[in-house]
């Protein structure tokens, strides 16, 4: 039924196939030599992302009888970035452009997006902490204690638009070499360290950080580095809760990662 209502919007001659992803709300529509990328109920600020060249060009949006809004974007022939490619200067430049965009920030503020403060992340870490359900409750408890101690030092007045899921699979390099960052459904307003922490710890060798930040457009100060470390510890704790709930095969690796963070 969900695919049929989209076909009604497209008209005759089109076929659609799921585009993958966790939500199952994305599709590829094809007819002859033409292709479109379709998404149900995309982020409302997709238009400004498209105008800035951050995502593939938005072609149209249409509301269907169910009340859902279908957006159609240009289908880009290209490849997702390999993890090793996340060190490329184009990645740093595009992320810097996003974080410095006043237009994106204004748009998200107009959508009544409340900034995510470090206090809120710490609160979430404490709420979900159930020692009896964790393989390494002692490690998580140590991490929460670290977050509490360092909280006053990581509060920041600066707020930017953060993508919040900078996995390499969300970066697309087109056949023409243009770089895009897709999947903006979880965009938030937060400290830039929220985005930077997990991305750099996951993909960029620390020896290359100063060079990476030159391309990003901001210096790597001791204060920013401290904030990045705090956020990545908080995100690691929250990911452990998620892994444990779903018995994820990577859950033990997540404990090792958290242990390494607390030793550094």
Annotated active-site positions, please? 165
Q: What's the count of helices (H) and strands (E) in the chain, helices before strands?
A: 10, 10
* CA angle centred on 21, ends 18 and 22, rounded to 5°: 120
- The residue length of the chain stands at 264
Number of Cβ within a 10 Å radius of residue 8? 11
Kindly state the tokens that stand for 258: 């958290």
CB 179 within 8 A of CB 172: yes
Q: What is the largest CA-CA distance in the chain?
A: 61
Dihedral sign computed on CA atoms, order 173, 158, 184, 260? positive
In three-state secondary structure terms, 253 is: helix
Tell me the residue ranges of DSSP E strands in the chain.
15-18, 26-31, 34-40, 58-63, 69-74, 78-80, 160-162, 171-174, 179-181, 188-190
- 139-178 as b/e: b if 16+ CB within 10 A: bbeebbebbeebbeebeeeebbbbbbbbbbebbbbeeeee
């Amino acid at each position: 039924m969900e695919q049929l209502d989209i076909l009604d919007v497209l008209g005759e001659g089109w076929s659609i196939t799921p585009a993958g992803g966790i939500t199952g709300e994305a599709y590829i529509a094809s007819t002859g030599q033409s292709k479109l990328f379709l998404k149900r109920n995309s982020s409302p600020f997709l238009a400004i992302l498209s105008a800035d060249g951050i995502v593939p060009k938005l072609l149209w949006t249409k509301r269907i009888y169910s009340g859902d809004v279908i957006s159609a974007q240009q289908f880009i022939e290209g490849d997702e970035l390999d993890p090793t490619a996340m060190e490329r200067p184009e990645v740093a430049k595009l992320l810097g452009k996003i974080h410095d965009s006043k237009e994106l920030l204004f748009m998200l503020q107009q959508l009544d997006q409340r900034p995510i403060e470090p206090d809120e992340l710490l609160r979430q870490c404490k709420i979900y902490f159930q020692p009896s359900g964790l393989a390494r409750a002692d490690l998580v408890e140590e991490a929460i204690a670290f977050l509490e101690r360092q909280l006053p030092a990581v509060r920041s007045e600066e707020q930017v638009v953060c993508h919040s899921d900078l996995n390499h699979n969300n970066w697309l390099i087109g056949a023409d070499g243009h770089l895009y960052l897709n999947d903006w459904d979880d965009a938030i307003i937060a400290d830039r360290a929220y985005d930077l922490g997990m991305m750099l710890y996951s993909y960029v060798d620390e020896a290359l950080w100063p060079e990476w930040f030159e391309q990003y457009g901001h210096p790597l100060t001791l204060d920013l580095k401290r904030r990045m470390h705090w956020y990545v510890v908080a995100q690691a704790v929250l990911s452990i809760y998620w892994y444990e709930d779903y018995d994820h095969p990577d859950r033990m690796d997540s404990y090792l990662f958290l242990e390494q963070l607390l030793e550094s």
